[in-house]
Amino acid sequence: MADRGWHEDSDYHEAVQRAERATRFGWSAIAWSTGALGCVLITVAVLCAVAVIACLFVVVASHY
């Protein structure tokens, strides 16, 4: 710090840039994992609905 003067703050700017990159990466990871979890939940819900409809079809068909 003594060699660069009092107003040299390039280390600060580099730290801010690294923090911004880490923040962007973190939010991207959160968004990706939330989207993937949402797709999985939708798939599970559709499969459960298909299973219920198939069971109802079997029950109704067995009565005839």
DSSP characters over 1-64: -TTT-TT--HHHHHHHHHHHHHHHHHHHHHHHHHHHHHHHHHHHHHHHHHHHHHHHHHHHHHT-
Is the pLDDT reported for residue 59 higher than 80?
Answer: yes
- pLDDT tens digit string along 20-52? 999 999 999 999 999 999 999 999 999 999 999
